[in-house]
Amino acid sequence: MIDIPTEKEFKYKAFTALNFRQIPQISSLSDEQIEAISVVSHVLPFKANNYVVDELINWDNVPNDPVFILTFPQKDMLLPEHYNLMKSAIDKGLSKEEVKQVAHEIRMELNPHPDGQMDHNVPVIDGHKLTGMQHKYRETVLFFPSQGQTCHAYCSFCFRWPQFTGMDEWKFAMKETELLIKYLQEHTEVTDLLFTGGDPMIMKNKVFAGYIDALLEADIPNLQTIRIGTKSLSYWPYKFTTDVDADDMLRTFEKIVKSGKNLAIMAHFNHPVELSTVVVQKAIKRIRATGAQIRTQSPLMRNINADADVWAELWRKQVNLNCIPYYMFVARDTGAQHYFKVPLVEAWQIFQNAYQQVSGVCRTVRGPSMSATPGKVQVMGISEVNGEKIITLRFLQGRNPDWVAKPFFARYDETAIWIDDLKPAFGEEKFFFENELNEIFNEHLNKSTAGHFE
């Protein structure tokens, strides 16, 4: 495997709401900023580590540093009424349980599971609801291994934030490899299995390899690709370089590739600075040497990366490191969306301006895309037809595969931030997929099982 020296070695140390004041650089923050971290972290999860704090955050640029905002709670990430409610509960000296209850009430107003994740995506086998899986698109199953439902650090925009807040009724997790294998064997339309979380790369190799060995031994013909959704390259690249089982994890990757399966690491890079350290560049080279692909994705977020030049630099750096730009997402309608939101028209303009700056090898990226209830919807551009200004969209993925790649049109709206804000163009009452979407949901409900496209 390719090896290059690292600039700095780290022993992992986590910082949470309980001990973040131990971070030396925190002393540079104002009392109000420190208070905001404490208050907001009672509602939205907070976790960082010494690599993020020491290597990625430019403390001379705080509070405007993008990685600081990406990991440290900011006051405006809660609406004023929610922030004041939480602060008041703390200031009154309410009991721990009472404070938890206030936090829970606020969380329930933040759309903790958007886009039908709990209601429409959870499959069933033999009458058993597989709460550690999602099957929204025909070819792809998401698997949430129970040991991988945390992260090396938490993103402040995370749309799966309920995984980390003790909201067990909203948590996806599963240990039963046998049920996963049985489901894949019965659903021969499935070609791709995505390990997700949390972050599967929080697991030790011994645990992760147990899942992989079982899948490979089952020899499931229809399973062609194993994907791993992870932020570890950004937040703890030592996972693949100097951690005690780093070499073992890479050997597990090699085993997947040698079995004939495609291995795709779905890496989350939100800003070019996350690609700037020697250790992340070394980690990428070591993973690529196993035969794995690395595909990259990120949401477009106000206050972090809502700038075309930032995205063009991000894509170029990824390609220069032999990664494949894959998705630009729109911030999901959950949690602190109000803080990160970029209107769809502006999002497309940023995408277009960045896309124009890069060469063809960077243009594998797709976006801006909304992972919405009916599917992944891409904003393709702004047009004018017969004097009516419109937004052109298409499905990149759909609950019904027949919807994929079909363009459809919405009235021009500079304020819309999600598909639910859009209205059909040309006087239509509904978008073409709406009636069928309701039929799919009703069929799923009536059968108490995963629908045909689930």
Asked if the model's pLDDT at residue 167 lies above 60, the reply is no
Q: Dump pLDDT digits (tens) for 189-205.
A: 999 999 998 899 999 99
If you average pLDDT over residues 365-390, what whole number do you get?
95
What's the confidence (pLDDT) of residue 109? Answer: 86
Q: What is the 3-state secondary structure (H, E, C) of 284-351?
A: HHHHHCCCCEEEEEEEECCCCCCCHHHHHHHHHHHHHCCCEEEEEEECCCCCCHHHHCCCHHHHHHHH
3-state secondary structure of 165: coil
Mean pLDDT for all residues in the chain = 90
- Confidence band (pLDDT; 50, 70, 90) for 178? confident
The C-alpha atoms of residue 181 and residue 141 are separated, in whole angstroms, by 11
Q: Dump pLDDT digits (tens) for 168-177.
A: 443 444 567 8
Q: Which residue has the higher pLDDT, 302 or 450?
A: 302
Picking from 272, 338, 270, 415, the residue whose alpha carbon sits closest to that of residue 74 is 338
Asked if the model's pLDDT at residue 120 lies above 80, the reply is no
What's the confidence (pLDDT) of residue 172? Answer: 41
The C-alpha atoms of residue 113 and residue 120 are separated, in whole angstroms, by 11
If you average pLDDT over residues 394-408, what whole number do you get?
96
Residue with tokens 């009724």: 169
Picking from 298, 418, 32, 340, the residue whose alpha carbon sits closest to that of residue 156 is 340
- Confidence band (pLDDT; 50, 70, 90) for 263? very high
Q: Where are the chain's structural domains? A: 14-107, 117-447
User: To the nearest whole percent, how much of the chain has pLDDT over 90?
Assistant: 78
- Confidence band (pLDDT; 50, 70, 90) for 110? confident
Lowest mean pLDDT among 17-31, 60-74, 120-134, 415-429: 120-134
- Confidence band (pLDDT; 50, 70, 90) for 115? low
Helices (DSSP H) in 411-451: which residue ranges? 434-447
3-state secondary structure of 420: helix
Q: Please name the fold of domain 117-447.
A: TIM Barrel (3.20.20)
Asked if the model's pLDDT at residue 447 lies above 80, the reply is no
What's the confidence (pLDDT) of residue 118? Answer: 52
Beta strands (DSSP E) in 223-323 are 225-230, 262-268, 293-300
Q: Dump pLDDT digits (tens) for 317-358.
A: 999 999 999 999 999 887 788 999 999 999 999 999 999 999
Query: Which pair of tokens denotes residue 362?
Result: 């960077």
Q: 87 with 41: CB under 8 angstroms?
A: no
Q: Dump pLDDT digits (tens) for 198-229.
A: 899 999 999 999 999 999 999 999 999 999 99
Q: How many residues does this entry show for the chain?
A: 454
What's the confidence (pLDDT) of residue 128? Answer: 78
Q: Which residue has the higher pLDDT, 76 or 156?
A: 76
Picking from 333, 344, 427, the residue whose alpha carbon sits closest to that of residue 379 is 344
Strand partners for 134: 142
What's the confidence (pLDDT) of residue 216? Answer: 97
What's the confidence (pLDDT) of residue 406? Answer: 94
Q: Dump pLDDT digits (tens) for 286-304.
A: 999 999 999 999 999 999 9
What's the confidence (pLDDT) of residue 159? Answer: 60
What's the confidence (pLDDT) of residue 408? Answer: 97
Q: Dump pLDDT digits (tens) for 65-92.
A: 999 999 999 999 999 999 999 999 999 9
